[in-house]
Amino acid sequence: MEEGHLPVMVEEVMQALSPAPGSFQLDATVGGGGHAARILEATSPDGRLLGLDADGAAIARTQRRLAEYGERLTLRQTNFEALAEAAAEAGFGPVDGILFDLGLSSHQLADDERSFSFRAGGLLDMRFDTRHGRPSHELLATLDERGLAEIFRRYGEEPLAGRIAAAIVRERERVAIRTGRQLAAVVERATPTRLREGRRIHPATRVFQALRIAVNRELEVLPVALQAAVDLLRPGGRLVVISYHSLEDRIVKRFLNDERRGCVCPPEVPVCVCGHSPRLRAVGPAPQRPTEEEVDQNPRSRSARLRAAERLAA
């Protein structure tokens, strides 16, 4: 296993995905390659895996780490929003299994240059793919107080969104907020002492989450990717998703529920006009959570929720 990288709920993923020898699998968020390595082992000797990641550094690390698998592994730097196009270009389809692990990797959290963490001293960027989009320090410098508060409230569910946004606007009039440590310090000062002492997490955690989601359009692209994944699965193929906060888990849960039932017409429509048929069935309990032993070994896994489904015949 690569030092510093622990794939989350890997045994539960393997059980839900159930990769067989010779099967075609797709890891839509290849990250540090931990899940990918186990999938490649399980699908030997001739199974293939397509790994996607918007983060070019993640692709380079996984390429080095899993070089022994040769042509069985294909990697592409792309957002999973383009899953369908990437699969077609790589000659993958239909596939037997698709995995989404929506969390940050330990490598990204340790990346001082992009400041995913409030401990980072590098420039606030937070983009997975630095070729596209606006870095987070630009949002902090240009959005007004209302716009910042909306991001913190919508994507971070931060109860002090307005107070923190006002503190950021005041601080940037004095000095530009350019690093993770600077932003974390502003948020901490804006948080009342009684709330700082009562929280299990750092006061800036939700603000950093919100900025990262906004910069990478995470909640916008997730439904697109899930739809493409179901379209790509062969009958009997498995879809496995690990989410880490309620906003993305809500999207996944709603999507899977919609694909498990037939008619999706609004209740006020007396006769079905959508023609929708169930395309998925649930696999295992939902959601699955990491074991206490895993959380002790890897605290980053504590908020993980795994949901799985199987593609029905068309």
Which of 216, 249, 269 represents a domain boundary (last residue)? 216
List pLDDT tens digits, range 29-55.
Answer: 999 899 999 999 999 999 999 999 999
Q: Are 190 and 164 in contact (CB under 8 A)?
A: yes
The answer to whether position 3 is within a domain reads no
Q: How many CA atoms lie within 13 A of 217 on its CB side?
A: 13
> Which CATH number goes with the domain that contains 167?
1.10.150.170
> pTM above the 0.95 mark?
no
Q: Are 303 and 290 in contact (CB under 8 A)?
A: no
| Tokens describing residue 302 | 């504590």
List pLDDT tens digits, range 85-112.
Answer: 999 999 998 999 999 999 876 666 666 6
The mean pLDDT of 130-157, rounded to a whole number, is 95
| pLDDT higher than 90, residue 271 | no
> Which CATH number goes with the domain that contains 241?
3.40.50.150
| pLDDT higher than 50, residue 1 | no
In the chain, what is the straight-line distance between the N-terminal and C-terminal CA atoms, in Å?
Answer: 39
Which of 216, 242, 274 represents a domain boundary (last residue)? 216
Domain coverage including residue 186: 108-216
Cβ burial of 52 (10 Å; 0-12, 13-18, 19+) is: buried
| Tokens describing residue 88 | 């077609």
| pLDDT higher than 50, residue 220 | yes
Pairing of β 280-282 and β 95-101: unpaired
Q: Are 121 and 260 in contact (CB under 8 A)?
A: no
Residue 108 pLDDT: 67
| pLDDT higher than 70, residue 246 | yes
177/113 same-domain check: yes
Percentage, residues of the chain above pLDDT 70? 92
Query: What type of residue sits at position 155?
Result: Y
